[in-house]
Structure 1
């Protein structure tokens, strides 16, 4: 039974435990629930399942496995063209213009925990204003 006051769930795609924890705690402190996918493939499976109504995606770019964060974001946008996307990267920032989806945010590691919360909140607010 769904709780009408349930918190928005943010899907975090990150294979480094330390960063997973940092992002998870920052979003939890901001009033969000989180789900963790350690690989791009797992994230796409979770998004496609429709079991959870994820409100945004926070993804690392360089992930273990066959897919990267750019691909996860494109798959998320196939499901919902307005899906809020926040990218995190230490090395791939220069690829954002060519690889990133429109209306996304890129955070370069290391970033302050507050930056992730601000980025997600801004995208969710923009998405909410876009719905009439």
Structure 2
């Protein structure tokens, strides 16, 4: 999977089912210099990735989502396509599962977190991916 940029901005796929949190993440990423697509379910996220219409640079996903897919599942599917794809997890209750459910070289942010922490985590992972 090629990593994408629109007008030289990294494009991030955000999976968050709470509208308020989606808005906070949207504002933080825009202010941090990212473009993004936000969806509310794992099914939508996989559809967006599979479509190939937009080539994403990173994934930011809540762990606990409505529906059958969890953030862990989405990340594993993305990593099957690109083993080094940058992934940031967000969770309020599932942080203790990260060690055995999360993909390697990912970052976990525990809610509540400062918007700047999200921007810093993405920037760190994108920098590591570009130096590979």
TM-score bracket, normalised by the shorter chain, equals over 0.9
Aligned counterparts, 1:10-49, within 5 A: 10-49=12-51
On the 8 A contact 2:16/2:61 being kept in 1, the answer is yes
Normalising to structure 1: TM-score of the pair?
0.94
Structure 1: runs of 5 or more not aligned: none
Distance in 2 (CA, whole Å) between partners of 1:38 and 1:8 is 20
TM-score (normalizing by structure 2):
0.94
Residues of 2 paired with 1:4 and 1:63: CA distance? Answer: 27
**Alpha-carbon distance in 2 for matches of 1:101, 1:36:** 21
- Supply the distance in 2 between the matched residues of 1:119 and 1:4 (Cα, whole angstroms): 20
Task: Please say if residues 48 and 79 of structure 1, whose CA atoms lie closer than 8 Å, have aligned partners that are also in contact.
Answer: no
Question: What residue in structure 1 maps to residue 74 of structure 2?
Answer: 72
Contact persistence 2:72–2:102 (CA under 8 A): yes
Q: 1:120 aligns with which of 78, 98, 122?
A: 122
Is 1:93 aligned with 2:95? Answer: yes
The 3 A distance-change label for structure 1 pair 5 and 101 is same
Q: When the two structures are aligned, how many residues end up with a matched partner?
A: 128
Map of 2:63 onto structure 1: 61
Cα distance per residue 1:63-121 (max 9 Å; x no partner):
00111000000011011111000000000000000000000000000000000000000
**Aligned-residue offset at 1:37:** 1.0
